[in-house]
Amino acid sequence: MTRPLPTYHDLAEPDRSGILAQVQAQHARVAARLAAVRHVVAVASGKGGVGKSYIAASLARRLGSAGHAVGLLDADLTGPTAPRLSGAARPPVRPSDGSVQPAVTADGVRVFSAEFLAAPGEPVRWREPEGDAFVWRGTLEAGAVREMLADVAWGELDLLLVDLPPGPARLADLHGLVPGLRGVLAVTIPSLESLDAVRRALLLARDRGVPLLGVIENLVEHACPNCGQRHPAFEGDAGARLSAEFGVPLLAHLPFRPTDPELDRLAAAVWAAVERS
């Protein structure tokens, strides 16, 4: 009778590479960096083009102006927009003590983006063998987000907003990297197409145990340039339906080009939801 093949854990001596220990050390580095951050909150959507990055940047600036210490991490590696939306200029690169300085906006928001890793106007390009990039691209991009969490000198923050690319995958990565993730703000537009896409993303988030903080319905209406009267921009009520289905507050209905008071109300509602969580 042949004996069963031994497993990795049957061998008592550690392996020389210590891959598992290296990955654990990476996670510990993230945790150490974020120890001075009270809340980490994701801004996500199952759908692109709903104004998620605009919402994230506006929230960061309003909360920064209100006196909160806020960071904004642009985790969209292929379409970074946070620097332009938040007014953050490319920071000088002065790595010291194992960290990189973020950009700081006029509102005091600390910003880091994949845009700072590429030449102006250029995409982020990875050094990789030709073809079949799907084998490692996701792992590599998750690793880049990990480094932006762990290696940027965020300092003491009340809130770190993480602007995620469309789709649910990066939210899962973030939740794996930040076990204390306070939750996710879901951004949608009113349409039924957006309802379907955001619902799928929120179901996956709920499956993973990511707390849902609330729904923000964006691009609800636009104002006539002549008379100023507001008209619906899309058919549908995705925000209200998602709010009811997931039992979370509908934090705001925002028009195209929201006014300062509307953005201030959004910031106040989000801050209250974060503090309640």
Among positions 94, 231, 257, 276, the unique one binding other proteins when judged by CB under 8 A: 94
Cα 86 to Cα 59, 67, 77, 230: the distances in Å are 10, 16, 17, 26
Residue 240 is a binding residue for other proteins (CB under 8 A): no
81 interacts with other proteins by CB under 8 A = no
4-27 b/e (C-beta count within 10 Å ≥ 16 → b): eeeeeeeeeeeeeeeeeeeeeeee
Which x/- pattern, by CB under 8 A, does the window 189-228 give for other proteins?
A: ----------------------------------------
Given a contact cutoff of 8 angstroms between Cβ atoms, the answer to whether 103 and 82 are in contact is no
Tell me the per-residue interface mask from 28 to 67 with other proteins, x by CB under 8 A, - otherwise.
-x--------------------------------------
CB of 274 to other proteins, least distance (A): 28
Q: Which residue has the tokens 């890793």?
A: 117
CA atoms within 13 A on the CB side of 174: 30
Q: Considering beta carbons, is residue 127 or 257 the nearer one to other proteins? A: 127
Read off φ and ψ for residue 62, nearest 5 degrees: -65, -45
Task: Report if residue 129 touches other proteins, rule: CB under 8 A.
Answer: yes
**Count of residues engaged in binding other proteins, rule: CB under 8 A:** 46
**Interface positions, 11-30, toward other proteins (CB under 8 A):** 11-13, 15-19, 22-23, 25-26, 29
SS3 for 256? coil
d(CA 190, CA 87): 28
Query: For residue 39, what are the contacts with CB-CB under 8 A and spacing of at least 6?
Result: 158, 159, 160, 182, 274, 277
Footprint on this chain of other proteins (rule: CB under 8 A): 6, 8, 11-13, 15-19, 22-23, 25-26, 29, 92-95, 98-100, 116-120, 122, 124-129, 132, 135-137, 139-140, 143-144, 146-148, 151
